[in-house]
Structure 1
């Protein structure tokens, strides 16, 4: 490839990576409403473990069909971080929080995830970003945090504590997966992480099903199906590929739009009331997205 062709290809690749990362954000924006639906028929532990098992079955089929090689031993510690972060930790903490917290409220709290992801990514890769990048990321995070505290009258609830705890584990899982996706396809990253988590998720699912009641219904099944097939597997495939293409920090800032999308779904699908402050926060978030992409 000539230097000119390479220069033309780079912007095209960047656009493709941005589209994939944005698609992942759109998919994840429906995760909280889907979780809310799943909780109408399944307990929180059952929801988390069954979504992982169903996603594992789907991923296993892809791994077998694609004859994906078993990852080298040196890659398994990073895959374990992915499993602990995005398969077990984040789903469990957020699902427990959604038992007492509205999805719209949870969406705003998790709006701080881009800053957490960028911070963890920078620490791991030992990279530096411009002052404008960090200032805008902090501004976007401050907007969603201020909104959250205003809704809870200045005192974080138990659900808020769980949601904030989920940020660190999810950021670690995102960064580990994003780095792995630079050397192996994203679908193999999440696929092998799911397979590797089976020793935990399988027995946990058996216990959860014996302890928590199950009330099968259309809404619960649709919610669980979306969590397993789309949020836990399909969304992670495109998200990791996007992160590997455009970089962890830049991709993470696209997630500043996720709270806005989830708020829309919360109103449309769950009938939750959105206050005027929600629109102002959403506008601030969108501005931050645009600025961070340029910074």
Structure 2
């Protein structure tokens, strides 16, 4: 939940950093590569301070997938999409991230769950999508298909792959070292690119604030908690806590953007919490439960 809470502010902060098509600020490429370079510099300091050993060769494949998914794919596609669509529109598509993460975890990490878990995951995703569509309609934005939606779908797929492959090596490397090595492996690309793409025109202080947040919290500190949570509870089950992320984004928007809470928001949030709790209880591996029962009988 700590990781989700930190990630929840990513949408509004990315919007602040990139601006809009009518009033652009930092370029999506600079935000993507620059935030990774910022996190990479912090990662070097952390790894040196903790005297962390180099990752083994078997870790490089999953770490490379995490680089592609979490360092490049998700932030780049999201940044470009948010220049075209509103944050509430983006939330409609990115609300499917928990279900996508659960599906990737089931395929990559061989994690299984009962049918009830999948029904709860689908119900929770449907609730979040319905809520996001309702809010978009209330704000006059509506929800129509456009090319930016394809970018958001790609961002969802990229993030889910990065989450699962990062969680795959977390038990051996540790959550903190996984995201640090991910950022360090990308540093030979991200640092020169950030310097090359450094803005030549003045940028609003709010855009720089958004950039610093996504670099320090969205790209680095948030993963300390997120990867550890995925490893401890299982990527398939823990991924469903992301269903709460849109609502935490709304809470963050109250002090940041001056928005107010309403009963509809709180009602949808309560319903989503119920699906998360129920789905979490149904996410146990059936084969594991059978094995434990057989062992007790023996």
Shorter chain as denominator, the TM-score bin is 0.7 to 0.9
Compared with structure 1, are the counterparts of its residues 248 and 214 closer, same or farther at alpha carbon in structure 2 (3 Å cutoff)? Answer: farther
1:37 equivalenced with 2:16 (yes/no): yes
- For 1:74, the equivalent position in structure 2 comes to 58
C-alpha distance in 1, partners of 2:157/2:230? 18
Could you tell me whether the CA contact under 8 Å between 1:42 and 1:215 is conserved in 2? no
Q: CA deviation at 1:149?
A: 5.4
1:164 equivalenced with 2:118 (yes/no): no
Q: CA deviation at 1:277?
A: 6.0
Equivalent in 238, 246, 268 of residue 233 of structure 2: 246
Q: For this pair of structures, how many residues does the alignment match?
A: 272
Structure 2 gaps, min length 5: 20-24, 283-298
Give the structure-1-normalised TM-score: 0.84
Could you tell me whether the CA contact under 8 Å between 1:30 and 1:265 is conserved in 2? yes
Equivalent in 234, 251, 255 of residue 221 of structure 2: 234
The farther-off stretch of 104-113 and 139-148 is: 139-148
C-alpha distance in 1, partners of 2:269/2:261? 11
Could you tell me whether the CA contact under 8 Å between 1:85 and 1:169 is conserved in 2? yes
1:184 equivalenced with 2:168 (yes/no): no
Helix, strand or coil for the counterpart of 2:95?
helix
1:64 equivalenced with 2:21 (yes/no): no
- For 2:296, the equivalent position in structure 1 comes to none
Give the structure-2-normalised TM-score: 0.84
Compared with structure 1, are the counterparts of its residues 132 and 294 closer, same or farther at alpha carbon in structure 2 (3 Å cutoff)? Answer: same
Q: Deviations along 1:87-109, whole A, 9 cap, x unmatched?
A: 11111111111112222332342
C-alpha distance in 2, partners of 1:170/1:278? 26
- For 1:7, the equivalent position in structure 2 comes to none
C-alpha distance in 2, partners of 1:60/1:214? 30
1:260 equivalenced with 2:244 (yes/no): no
C-alpha distance in 2, partners of 1:116/1:30? 20
Compared with structure 1, are the counterparts of its residues 159 and 284 closer, same or farther at alpha carbon in structure 2 (3 Å cutoff)? Answer: farther
Compared with structure 1, are the counterparts of its residues 226 and 241 closer, same or farther at alpha carbon in structure 2 (3 Å cutoff)? Answer: same
C-alpha distance in 1, partners of 2:267/2:87? 18
Compared with structure 1, are the counterparts of its residues 110 and 275 closer, same or farther at alpha carbon in structure 2 (3 Å cutoff)? Answer: farther
Q: Return the structure number with greater relative CO, CA threshold 8 A, min gap 6.
A: 1
